[in-house]
Amino acid sequence: MTRYLLKLSGEALGGDAGIGIEPLVLKHYCDEIEAAVREGIQVAVVLGGGNLFRGAHLAQAGMDRVVGDRMGMLATVMNGLALNDFLQRRGIASRLFSAMPMAGMVEGYQRDLAQTAIANGEVVILTGGTGNPFFTTDTAACLRGVELGVDAILKATNVDGVYSADPKKDASARRFEHISYQQVLAQELAVMDLTAIVLCKENALPLIVFDASESRTLTRLAAGEQIGTRVDDLEALG
């Protein structure tokens, strides 16, 4: 049974503007998740919150970083509530968890409960980051991926993989089909933050970076198709 963790940034949910929640974008991700579930793929989702709030910006203006990060965690819960609602109204069984206790609104994350839910075919939506300040939602995705024993982390982005440089700024940028975690670290490629990369590397957890606008990505990957860039602990050739 294939099990994936899909990492969606908050900005992705905001559409072209990257702000708020764009219903058409949310529908696209629900289409992707539904197609995967119908094929028997087990799916967990970790959401960012940058479309609604970015604590780092206010921290630069003098706000306490811990307070700002907590506000950012709340933003991820709001995104999770929206995704959970869209899925359930389609008849897709889903279960929403938060790393922060939110009695009466969102169930507190417990690994055993999440494991049972995903094994039963429910889409597990994980919000609140790690529940601690100073950690990104990318790190939360890798942490939950390790805990839930997923086959790979799937990171949806606005480009079709990992490049040697920013392809929007450098026309000579080269896209990698495969690259190792060690190469990502050595070349300081902007894939995920350092903590997230090291966590995946130490646990031999593959990461696939792909274009979020593509269709049926999860089902195509499960069928063995090469999509985007695969990052793992094996050295790339050439």
Domains of the chain: 1-151 (3.40.1160.10)
Distance (Å, whole) CA 150 – CA 142: 10
The count of residues in the chain is 238
pLDDT at 236: 52
Q: In the chain, what percentage of residues exceed pLDDT 70?
A: 97
Q: Give the model confidence (pLDDT) of 147-188 as tens digits.
A: 999 999 999 988 899 998 888 888 888 999 999 999 999 988
Least confident of 53-67, 90-104, 136-150, 166-180: 53-67
At 43, the pLDDT band (50, 70, 90 cuts) reads very high
Residue 233 has pLDDT above 70, yes or no: yes
Residue 12 has pLDDT above 80, yes or no: yes
Distance (Å, whole) CA 219 – CA 35: 7
Residue 235 has pLDDT above 80, yes or no: no
Considering only residues 15 and 118, tell me which one the structure prediction assigns the higher pLDDT. Answer: 118
For strand 175-176 and strand 94-98, is the pairing parallel, antiparallel, or unpaired?
Answer: unpaired
pLDDT at 237: 45
Candidates 193, 76, 177, 96; CA nearest to 143 is 193
pLDDT at 58: 79
Residue 238 has pLDDT above 60, yes or no: no
For strand 162-163 and strand 175-176, is the pairing parallel, antiparallel, or unpaired?
Answer: antiparallel
At 80, the pLDDT band (50, 70, 90 cuts) reads very high
pLDDT at 154: 97
Token pair for residue 181?
């975690």
Considering only residues 236 and 213, tell me which one the structure prediction assigns the higher pLDDT. Answer: 213
Q: Give the model confidence (pLDDT) of 214-226 as tens digits.
A: 899 999 999 999 9
Mean pLDDT, residues 121-130: 98
Interhelix angle 137-148/111-119, rounded to 10 degrees, is 70
At 190, the pLDDT band (50, 70, 90 cuts) reads confident
Mean pLDDT, residues 25-29: 96
Candidates 40, 32, 24, 27; CA nearest to 7 is 32
Q: For 88-238, list the strands marked E by DSSP.
A: 94-98, 107-108, 123-127, 152-157, 162-163, 175-176, 178-180, 207-211, 229-232
